Structure 1
């Protein structure tokens, strides 16, 4: 899971690079994926240490969930602009939707990785007959 955090952080940084190369105007919105990708990348590297793995991945998952919430808010904002004016910047919408997808996949995969460990721990602690 630590390596997946590193890959997710790198993908978010690449998302920002694509956003900056594909747009003439440099809006602060285009830097949000990198602002989320750097902490996820950092906590992924910290999670390579077995003693820090649980805390680092939990913090990275919280940052990923925060990125998903922020991105969904931006997508709803883009949708409201599109409904009112009929025109929205498609490049920014694609960048934000890619950010939301990466953040949600990372956060859900972290939660998914927790489920089997709890089941196995419960089986080990059961008394033997």
Structure 2
């Protein structure tokens, strides 16, 4: 009888502890993910010289927190160690977006992008 009672209490307590640890509200995490995806997509299609408006100097560019409590940090790293085989170092960069939000909603996304040109007047 005691084992049944302990099992029942454990079944009630474990979900409370689990959701308390990772946040009972999944909305801030979903919002942080959406903000990170949107910012990364904007950087991927932006001008190659300044994907986030700060150039690609390897220094993070923080965006002030908005009224909902999310802050965005963007970073751009050139392909200095030739991690992408077959692509010249100057023609590839790694973009990183980190979004921090309320309730511990921290999301980091990153992607490689390469320089491309479809015309004869390529910079």
Is the shorter-chain TM-score for this pair beyond 0.5, marking a shared fold? Answer: no
What TM-score results when the alignment is normalised by the length of structure 1? 0.28
What TM-score results when the alignment is normalised by the length of structure 2? 0.29
> Which structure ranks higher in relative contact order (CA pairs < 8 Å, sequence separation ≥ 6)?
1
More helix by share: 1
More strand by share: 2
